[in-house]
Amino acid sequence: MADTASKTSLIERLKEICSPSHVLTEAQDLAPWLEERRGLYKGRASALIKPANTEEVASVVRLAAETRTPIIPMGGNTGLVGGQITEDERTILLSLDRMNRIREMDAANNTMTVEAGVTLQRAQEEADKANRLFPLSLASEGTCQIGGNLATNAGGTAVLRYGNARDLVLGLEVVLADGRIWNGLRGLRKDNTGYDLKQLFLGSEGTLGIITAAVLKLFPRPTARAVGFAAVKDVDAAVALLHFMEEKSGGAVTSFELVPRIGVEFVTRHIEGARDPLDAPSPWYVLVELSSGGESLALADTLTNALGQALEKDLATDAVIAQSEAQAEELWALRENLSDVQREEGGSIKHDISVPVSKMPIFMHRALEAVTKEMPGIRPVPFGHIGDGNVHFNLSQPEGMDKAAFLEKWDHFNRIVHGIAVELNGSISAEHGVGQLKRDEIAALKSPVEMDLMRALKRTLDPEGILNPGKVVKP
Ligand code: FAD
**Ligand 1 within 6 A of 151 CB?**
yes
180 C-beta neighbours (distance < 10 Å), count: 12
160, 256 Cβ separation under 8 angstroms = yes
Closest ligand 1 atom, CA of 157? 28
Confidence (pLDDT) at 37: 82
Cα dihedral 115, 434, 398, 360 sign = positive
Q: Is 387 in the pocket of ligand 1 (CB under 6 A)?
A: no
| Centroid of ligand 1 to alpha carbon of 75 (angstroms) | 7
Does the pTM of the predicted model rise above 0.85? Answer: yes
**Pure H helices in 109-158:** 120-129, 146-151
Span from the CA of 142 to the centroid of ligand 1 (angstroms): 12
Give the 3-state secondary structure of residue 116.
Answer: coil
Is the separation of the CB atoms in 165 and 202 below 8 Å? yes
CA 77 to centroid of ligand 1, rounded, Å: 7
Cβ atoms 136, 154 nearer than 8 A? yes
Domains of the chain in sequence order: 2-95 (3.30.43.10), 102-220 (3.30.465.10), 224-339 (3.30.70.2190), 346-432 (3.30.70.2740)
Quote the pLDDT of residue 316. 98
Cα 84 to averaged position of ligand 1 atoms, centre (Å): 9
Ligand 1 pocket check for 78: Cβ under 6 Å: yes
Interval between CA 451 and ligand 1 midpoint (Å): 23
Q: Cα Rg for the chain, rounded, in angstroms?
A: 23
pLDDT at position 1: 47
Q: What share of the chain is helix, strand, coil (3-state, %, to 5)?
A: 40, 20, 40
Strand-strand pairing, 390-396 and 379-383: antiparallel
Ligand 1 touching residue 198 (CB < 6 A)? no
pLDDT at 7 (0 to 100): 74
The per-residue pLDDT for 237 is 98
Q: Strand 92-95 relative to strand 71-74: parallel, antiparallel, unpaired? A: parallel
Which of 407, 280, 304 is CA-nearest to residue 348?
Answer: 407
Is the CB of 342 within 6 Å of ligand 1? no
Q: What is d(CA 361, CA 344) in angstroms, rounded to the nearest whole number?
A: 28
**Predicted pLDDT at 318:** 98
Ligand 1 contacts CB of residue 361 (under 6 A): no
Q: Is the CB–ligand 1 distance for residue 76 below 6 Å?
A: yes
In whole angstroms, what is the distance from residue 235 CA to residue 368 CA? Answer: 12
Compute the distance from residue 144 Cα to the ligand 1 centre, in Å: 6
- CA 320 to ligand 1 center in whole angstroms: 33
| Residue of 35, 37, 81, 84 with the most ligand 1 atoms within 8 Å of its CB, for mutation | 84
Ligand 1 center–CA 401 separation, angstroms: 32
248 Cα–ligand 1 center, Å: 35
Phi, psi of 317 (to 5 degrees): -110, -15
Closest residue by CA, ligand 1 atom 44: 79
* Ligand 1 and 390: CB distance under 6 A: no
CA separation for the pair 142, 191 (Å, rounded): 33
Tens-binned pLDDT, residue by residue, of the chain (475 aa)? 456 777 789 999 999 999 999 999 999 999 999 998 888 899 999 999 999 999 999 999 999 999 999 999 999 999 999 999 999 999 999 999 999 999 999 999 999 999 999 999 999 999 999 999 999 999 899 999 999 999 999 999 999 999 999 999 999 999 999 999 999 999 999 999 999 999 999 999 999 999 999 999 999 999 999 999 999 999 999 999 999 999 999 999 999 999 999 999 999 999 999 999 999 999 999 999 999 998 888 999 999 999 999 999 999 999 999 999 999 999 999 999 999 999 999 999 999 999 999 999 999 999 999 999 999 999 999 999 999 999 999 999 999 999 999 999 999 999 999 999 999 999 999 999 999 999 999 999 999 999 999 999 999 999 999 999 999 999 7
Q: What is the pLDDT, as a whole number, of residue 297?
A: 85
The pLDDT, as a whole number, for residue 288 is 98
